[in-house]
Amino acid sequence: MSLPPGAIGPSQFHAGDDSLRALIDVATYRIETTVTVPLAPDGDELGVVVARVDVAEGNERDNADTHITVTSVEGQPPYYYEEINLGDRVFFREGKDDAWYESDGGYDIVGPVAPIPYKYADLHGASWSLPSADWLGNEEIDGVPVGHYTWSDADETSGVSAYGESWVDVEGVVWRWIYEIRFGEMLFSRSDAVLYDLGADVNITVPEGL
């Protein structure tokens, strides 16, 4: 199936083609994700956190060397968490000025709030592909021309609905993605992730003193 005339993206893509779910080849990059979630069951009060992830080695979720920083932005008490994953070693601290500790396992922050970027992947667990998405136009992110796509899905029985947007370049790399889930009118979660510094010199080291 081909792209719409004038749309930026891979020249050919096919739903269900496993080759389109390959991880990007470049193993160094940074991601910033803004996550919005309700703080109470009624959904009236929202909390926002920002997660910044540096990825230095490895383009698979389970073996990437990462430096993760999560901070609260609004709607909740101040929160700070920092984690470094180097091979089998995991270091963390829960305050910007706190001491570092070594753990026997991470908290898997990379998974829920800043997933490793895919080419046409099932981002955030939402199975979709561009053939079923609508093209909104072409833009630029970090100087890279991208096509802007959107999709939505809803289950009338459960009242759950999902909405997503992706900005994809000609190689199929997703430079930004938004994913939102609602129960009826109430927001359950919203993630807005931006990929940048693709191929940058990212250096992650063991915290001083450990």
Split into its structural domains, the chain has a count of 1
Q: Is residue 207 part of a domain?
A: no
Q: Is residue 64 part of a domain?
A: yes
Would you place residue 16 in the very low, low, confident or very high pLDDT band (cuts 50, 70, 90)?
A: very low
Q: Is residue 174 part of a domain?
A: yes
| CATH number, domain containing residue 113 | 2.50.20
Q: Is residue 203 part of a domain?
A: no
150-201 pLDDT, tens digit per residue, is: 888 888 889 999 888 888 888 777 788 888 999 888 888 888 988 888 778 8
- How far apart CA 136 and CA 150 sit, in angstroms, is 7
Q: Is residue 209 part of a domain?
A: no
Q: Is residue 6 part of a domain?
A: no
Give residue 106's domain range. Answer: 18-196
Q: Is residue 48 part of a domain?
A: yes
31-87 pLDDT, tens digit per residue, is: 888 888 877 666 567 788 888 888 776 555 556 788 888 888 776 677 888 888 888
* 89 token code pair: 């070693």
Identify which of 25-34, 74-83, 107-116 has the greatest average pLDDT. 74-83
Q: Is residue 210 part of a domain?
A: no
Residue 119 has pLDDT above 90, yes or no: no
